[in-house]
Amino acid sequence: MAQRRKGERVLGPYPHAGRWRLIVVGPGGEKSRQEYESKKEADRVKVWVTKELQLAEERTIGDAKREYAMYLRNEKQNKPGSVEDTAYRLGMFFAEVGGDGTVIRGLEDEALSSITPKNGAELYGGLRRRKAKSGKQLSVDSHRNILAEAKSFLKWCAGKKWIVGNPLDEVEGVGKRKHGKEQLRIDEARRWQAKAIELADRGEAGAIAAMMCLLMGMRCSEVVSRVVRDLDDEGRLLWIPDSKTLAGRRKLQVPDFLQPYLVGMVKGRSSTSPLFGGEHWRDWPRKWVQRICKAAGVPKVTAHAMRGLHSTLAVDSGITGHAVAAALGHESFKTTAESYAQRDAVASAQQKRVLGVLSGGKLAS
């Protein structure tokens, strides 16, 4: 492990204008000053920084991020898209944000050991001010999820002994999360499906992808990750061999009226080529769900809400919570058996109930 460079040290705390000042001397003799409300707080920071100078290897935040990405990809075996998402979110967190919510600069080249509990909290404050692509501030769910990613990253860094403890341990997420996404009503879902079929008949593959979220309860990432060989048994089955969790690995029955669309798409193509061709990111089905909402004249909802509606209709039609969880690839309801055959049979029953409701059938009373 690298030793601290000669001359790096922390001086103080010194009383100054009613506060307590620390002076950090850098490797070249440069000095930075920071003041604290109490001597106790200044002493605590001094201990932290001194340990960092003694133990931290010369790693930048960018260096640590790259090694973390390798760990996620090679050891945890996260999917490439998931690793890219994590890197993007960490980039959002480790950035200097101005008072107007715009990014001043990224912190990739800053020392990993420079992150302290105080400036870690300041980074989260900047993230909460940050503007999304729409020009609006990030939602509570967004900035709290990014904070969670940053905490996991720094916890991993602490485990590697690159930093002393997790400087974000005491940073709490701010704001109330939204639980559940707004879903379409049944009549609205029927209008949505009719418009999706109309667009699919015109050759719009995105409409087919969007319908798979509602009719098969699939995640967007699962839709765009499928390859030709995952469509099996002459288009009747769709395999999902890789997913976020073990429970997510399953096979689903393809609704009868979707089969011709999918079979026609893959005809004559390589077994390993993407099911939908090209390279689609997971926001592709999301955009199509909302495009169809607009075309059908129904409230704009998310693709995740369509997956939720699939679950809602199945539960209301009499299927158990265990079965819904299994069909959607969740682990939350513990099934009594781990057999894929049982899970697949349940998924089939669930899809029939959902299709029955959307085709004009009634919910179970």
What does the pLDDT look like over 211-229, one tens digit per residue? 888 888 888 888 998 999 9
Q: Does residue 187 contact residue 363 with C-beta atoms inside 8 Å?
A: no
- The Cα diameter of the chain in Å comes to 79
What was the pLDDT predicted at 256?
82
For the chain, give every residue range classified as CATH 1.10.443.10. Answer: 186-358
Following DSSP, what letter does each residue of 270-286 receive, concatenated?
-TTSBTTSS---THHHH
Going by C-beta distance under 8 Å and a sequence separation of 6 or more, which residues neighbour residue 182? Answer: 299, 301, 305
| Cα end-to-end distance, the chain, whole Å | 67
DSSP code, position 117? H
Closest CA to 154 of 142, 144, 145, 163: 163
What was the pLDDT predicted at 2?
36
What was the pLDDT predicted at 339?
26
b/e for 284-323, b at 16 or more Cβ within 10 A? Answer: bbbebbebbbeebebeebbbbbbbbbbbbbbbebebeebb
What was the pLDDT predicted at 4?
39
Following DSSP, what letter does each residue of 132-184 receive, concatenated?
-TTSSBPPHHHHHHHHHHHHHHHHHHHHTTSSSS-TTTTPPP-SPPP-S----
What was the pLDDT predicted at 359?
63
Closest CA to 312 of 109, 210, 304: 304
What was the pLDDT predicted at 66?
94
Pair of tokens at residue 149: 């990613």
What was the pLDDT predicted at 358?
62
The amino acid occupying position 170 is: E
What element of type H or E holds 221?
helix 220-225
What was the pLDDT predicted at 251?
83
Closest CA to 343 of 265, 208, 243, 205: 243
Pair of tokens at residue 345: 């049979």
b/e for 175-205, b at 16 or more Cβ within 10 A? Answer: eeeeeeeebbebebbbbbbebbbebbeeebb
CATH code of the domain made up of 186-358: 1.10.443.10
Which residues of the chain fall short of a pLDDT of 50? 1-6, 56, 321, 324, 328, 330, 332-346, 349, 364-365
What was the pLDDT predicted at 34?
86
What was the pLDDT predicted at 243?
60
